[in-house]
């Protein structure tokens, strides 16, 4: 494909984008980026070809009786640009593959909040779960959310099309804290803090299909890029344990990291694993090709007493985000050049962090951006299509951005009405 073809395709996929702007934006971006680097600040996300990235941080606050919130950070300007109120003691946060919906586990009141992302993020639903929800994960097809209920020893499943609970909670090991879903969607792994195990859930049958004994205190799980290794953070032995999951799970190795490791995030290409060491106030970097720690740990915020907990890597791999619980900050750093890091005041007791590329087009027919297409919205779209209404009444129907609503676009909206926003 030549450049022109690719350029035109970009245009077709980006309604309303002006060609001149698209052509010059990368050049201006690079200039800006150099300039900002020169002053010692990070030029975050400036040159991403228009993909808007946000970091979302769960913040519990000082008072466990009060609702917490999700701080929305724009990593281009390194500021908190919004706060979305959720339930009490929000902990884990996960996003659907489309980038449209966040799910937050509220440990303090046993609920999960659904949050719409986009330009005006807001909480749209509070889903009662029970049992101290801590960890949360979304399936790779975006249809299911898995919630680890630490005090119930169960995992609950939410259908993202309806935000209703599916089936009965699945009994897992003791003290489930975090969940990872395999890319094929068939398996989910649950770190059980209290009994030193990882539960393997067969997602098709919504049942436990095996228990992996790792000992110690498993606090987090992640699946490697090749889907052959499970990374288990063991806070008790200050290590990351590797479990070969190609066949019958086998403990393959243990990598010594810092004091009281808590969470692990893999880079998008799977080449690096980053581990927060809560006791040391830093982050260990693991080369996943050799399974060795590389370099010295990256100091987070105030260091020893910064309390790094949640960690995430941006979709393009250019930023690592760390929630520093004791500092009350979100720390953004460049993995290739971790200092100086950007430190952003997030609020008391931040817990977890996730990066999201915001979708660059609306969900077809969802005029009010609540994640559903209603009959009323379909009627409005049909009226626009037959000339009895204006596109401006609901631009979400005009998926192609040509100022008209076609039958194809109506069909897309009907699909959303039936199946939910992708």
Is residue 109 within the footprint of Ca ion (CB under 5 A)? no
Q: Six-digit token pair at 94?
A: 């996960």
Strands (E), 89-153: 90-95, 101-106, 111-116, 122-128, 133-138, 144-149
Task: Select 40 or 387, whichever has its Cβ closest to Ca ion.
Answer: 387
Question: In this structure, are residues 148 and 133 in contact, taking their beta carbons and an 8 Å threshold?
Answer: yes
- Size of interface with Ca ion, in residues (CB under 5 A): 8
Distance CA 397, CA 392 (A): 10
Residues numbered 376-405 forming contacts with Ca ion, rule: CB under 5 A = 398, 400, 402, 404
Least Å from the CB of residue 416 to Ca ion: 9
Backbone angles phi, psi at 7, to 5 degrees: -65, -45
Task: Select 126 or 374, whichever has its Cβ closest to Ca ion.
Answer: 374
Residues numbered 202-231 forming contacts with Ca ion, rule: CB under 5 A = none
Task: Select 90 or 365, whichever has its Cβ closest to Ca ion.
Answer: 365
Least Å from the CB of residue 399 to Ca ion: 6
Least Å from the CB of residue 15 to Ca ion: 8
Distance CA 191, CA 240 (A): 12
Give the range of 53-61, 147-155, 372-380, 410-418 binding Ca ion by CB under 5 A. Answer: 372-380
**Residue 388 CB coordination number (10 Å):** 9
30 DSSP β-pair partners: none
Least Å from the CB of residue 391 to Ca ion: 8
Give the range of 31-39, 103-111, 187-195, 365-373 binding Ca ion by CB under 5 A. Answer: 365-373
Least Å from the CB of residue 192 to Ca ion: 39
Residues numbered 11-70 forming contacts with Ca ion, rule: CB under 5 A = none
Distance CA 96, CA 119 (A): 17
Least Å from the CB of residue 363 to Ca ion: 8
Taking 3-state DSSP, the helix, strand and coil percentages for the chain, each rounded to the nearest 5, stand at 15, 45, 40
Best CA proximity match to 409, nearest among 420, 395, 398, 393:
398
Least Å from the CB of residue 369 to Ca ion: 7
Task: Select 114 or 219, whichever has its Cβ closest to Ca ion.
Answer: 114
Least Å from the CB of residue 166 to Ca ion: 22
Task: Select 9 or 171, whichever has its Cβ closest to Ca ion.
Answer: 9
Task: Select 3 or 388, whichever has its Cβ closest to Ca ion.
Answer: 388
Tell which one of 74, 202, 228, 370 touches Ca ion (CB under 5 A): 370
Tell which one of 117, 366, 394, 417 touches Ca ion (CB under 5 A): 366
Q: Six-digit token pair at 347?
A: 């609020």
Task: Select 164 or 404, whichever has its Cβ closest to Ca ion.
Answer: 404
**Residue 38 CB coordination number (10 Å):** 9
Best CA proximity match to 45, nearest among 66, 89, 75, 5:
75
Task: Select 116 or 241, whichever has its Cβ closest to Ca ion.
Answer: 116
Q: Six-digit token pair at 309?
A: 């907990």
Give the range of 23-31, 73-81, 333-341, 371-379 binding Ca ion by CB under 5 A. Answer: 371-379
Long-range contacts made by residues 209-212, C-beta under 8 angstroms, separation at least 24? 210/249, 211/173, 212/243, 212/249, 212/251
Least Å from the CB of residue 28 to Ca ion: 30
Is residue 368 within the footprint of Ca ion (CB under 5 A)? yes
Best CA proximity match to 378, nearest among 364, 360, 388:
364
Task: Select 16 or 64, whichever has its Cβ closest to Ca ion.
Answer: 16
Give the binding site for Ca ion (CB under 5 A).
366, 368, 370, 372, 398, 400, 402, 404
């Amino acid at each position: 494909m030549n450049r022109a073809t690719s350029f035109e395709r970009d245009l077709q996929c980006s309604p309303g984008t002006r060609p001149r702007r698209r052509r010059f934006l990368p050049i201006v971006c690079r200039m800006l980026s150099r300039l900002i680097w020169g002053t010692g600040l990070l030029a975050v996300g400036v040159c991403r070809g228009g993909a808007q990235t946000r970091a979302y941080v769960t913040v519990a606050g000082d008072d466990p009786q009060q609702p917490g919130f999700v701080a929305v950070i724009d990593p281009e300007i390194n500021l908190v640009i919004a706060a979305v109120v959720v339930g009490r003691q929000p902990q884990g946060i996960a996003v659907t593959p489309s980038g449209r919906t966040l799910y937050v586990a509220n440990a303090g009141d046993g609920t999960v909040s659904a949050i719409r992302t986009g330009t005006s993020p807001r909480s749209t639903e509070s889903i009662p779960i029970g049992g101290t929800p801590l960890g949360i994960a979304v399936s790779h097809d975006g249809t299911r959310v898995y919630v680890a209920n630490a005090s119930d020893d169960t995992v609950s499943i939410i259908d993202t099309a309806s935000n209703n609970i599916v089936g009965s909670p699945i009994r897992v090991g003791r003290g489930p804290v975090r969940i990872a879903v395999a890319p094929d969607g068939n398996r989910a792994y649950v770190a059980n803090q209290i009994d030193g195990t990882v539960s393997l859930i067969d997602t098709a049958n919504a049942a436990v299909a095996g228990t992996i004994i790792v000992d110690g205190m498993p606090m987090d799980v992640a699946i490697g890029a090749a889907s052959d290794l499970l990374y288990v953070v063991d806070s008790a032995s200050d290590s990351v344990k590797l479990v070969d999951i190609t066949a019958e799970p086998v403990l393959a190795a243990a990598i010594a990291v810092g004091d009281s490791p808590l969470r692990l995030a893999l880079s998008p290409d799977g080449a690096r694993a980053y581990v927060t060491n809560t006791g040391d106030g830093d982050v260990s970097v693991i080369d996943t090709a050799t399974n060795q720690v590389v370099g010295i740990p990256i100091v987070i915020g105030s260091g020893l007493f910064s309390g790094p907990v949640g960690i995430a890597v941006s979709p393009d791999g250019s930023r690592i985000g760390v929630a520093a619980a004791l500092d009350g900050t979100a720390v953004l750093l460049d993995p290739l050049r971790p200092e100086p890091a950007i430190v952003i005041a997030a609020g008391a007791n931040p817990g977890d962090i996730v990066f999201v590329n915001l979708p660059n087009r609306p969900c077809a027919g969802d005029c009010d951006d609540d994640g559903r297409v209603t009959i009323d919205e379909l009627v409005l779209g049909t009226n626009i299509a037959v000339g009895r209404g204006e596109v401006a009444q609901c631009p979400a129907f005009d998926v192609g951005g040509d100022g008209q609503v076609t039958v194809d676009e109506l069909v897309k909206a009907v699909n959303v009405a039936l199946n939910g926003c992708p």
